[in-house]
Every structure is written in C-alpha cells, then in structure tokens.
C-alpha cells in the first residue's frame, strides 16, 4: 500500500470516527454564506470528480470526491469508496474562498448529521483537505496532516476527466 493510500485511508477513518485532537486553528465555522454553496463551488470550479488516481476505480484506498450543485443553490460532496461501500454524502453550506487558494465550507453528513468545517487547499487542478474541525473545536486535520498519532499528510486529489 502506498503512502498516499495510507493517508487517504487514515483520513477516511478519521472522518468516520469523528474528531480527535484539539486545535484553535480554523476552529470557527465558515463565515455565513453571501451566496448559495452551489453557486460558490460552481464558480470556483470544484464541480466534478477528484481522486488520487483517476485511472483506477474507486476503492477504500482511492476514494473519489464528487462535488455537485443544483441550480437552486444546494451543493453536495459525495465520497465514493467503491462498490463494497455505501457512498458518504455531505450537504455543503457557508462556502467561500480565501487567500492562498483555500476554500472553506461546512459539511453535514446525511447519515450522522455531524457538522465539520473544512478548509480545502487548491493548486490548479489539485485539491487536498488542509484543515477539518468539528463544531466542538476538535481538529481532524491541521495544516494538511491528520491530527492523530500518525500525523499522515492528506493526499492531493486531481480533477478526473469527464467519464
């Protein structure tokens, strides 16, 4: 298993298990949205499929992040981890961009209703989770690294071509 596969696996596990380590950085929820999240993710070019390796199918080690938006303003993020797993679907809100290529948004799990504030770092057609903080202020990701004992870096995901 590659280092990026392990990082993605650890990030997926961290999101499933909940917050782990406290952090003040990026602990506040994303600022109230001036426009619907769907319009923001569309204007920032996030709509589409992103993966560590777009040439390989979705698996637990190669999750696909799929951003979608409808024209009423709603936005979702779906993690596709392959045929053996149910997709994880999150409703997005409070989306906005910041300096240094960061995109902030709140995501709410449709399954657990857990709310997490995400800071996504974007570099051209690559994205990665830079920070992830629960409503209780506990961090899952800090400065692009998991806030657990592994300290593994979050993987870069590349935009996948249209299928």
> Residue 2 above 60 pLDDT?
no
- 143-to-111, 133, 160 alpha-carbon distances in Å: 27, 12, 25
The per-residue pLDDT for range 25-56, each reduced to its tens digit, is: 444 555 554 789 999 999 999 999 999 999 99
Which comes out higher in pLDDT, residue 5 or 64? 64
**Would you report the helix, strand and coil content of the chain in percent, each value rounded to 5?**
15, 40, 45
**Confidence (pTM):** 0.78
pLDDT of residue 35: 87
- Read off the pLDDT of each residue in 122-146 and give the average, rounded to a whole number: 95
Tally the domains of the chain: 1
pLDDT of residue 29: 53
- Read off the pLDDT of each residue in 53-68 and give the average, rounded to a whole number: 96
* Residue range(s) defining the domain that contains residue 13: 3-159
Query: How high is the mean pLDDT of the chain?
Result: 83
């Amino acid at each position: 298993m590659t280092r990026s596969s392990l990082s993605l696996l650890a990030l997926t596990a961290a999101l499933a298990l909940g917050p782990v380590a406290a952090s003040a950085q990026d602990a506040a929820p994303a600022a109230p949205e001036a426009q619907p999240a769907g319009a923001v993710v569309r204007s920032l070019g996030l709509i589409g499929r992103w993966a560590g390796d777009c040439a390989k199918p979705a698996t637990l080690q190669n999750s696909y992040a799929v951003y979608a938006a409808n024209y009423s303003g709603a936005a979702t993020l779906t993690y596709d981890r392959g045929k053996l797993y149910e997709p994880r679907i999150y409703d997005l809100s409070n989306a906005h961009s910041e300096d240094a290529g960061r995109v902030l948004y709140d995501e709410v799990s449709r399954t657990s209703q857990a709310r997490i504030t995400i800071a996504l770092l974007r570099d051209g057609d690559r994205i990665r989770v830079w920070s992830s903080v629960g409503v209780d202020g506990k961090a899952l990701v800090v400065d692009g690294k998991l806030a657990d004992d592994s300290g593994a870096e979050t993987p870069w995901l590349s935009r996948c071509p249209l299928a």
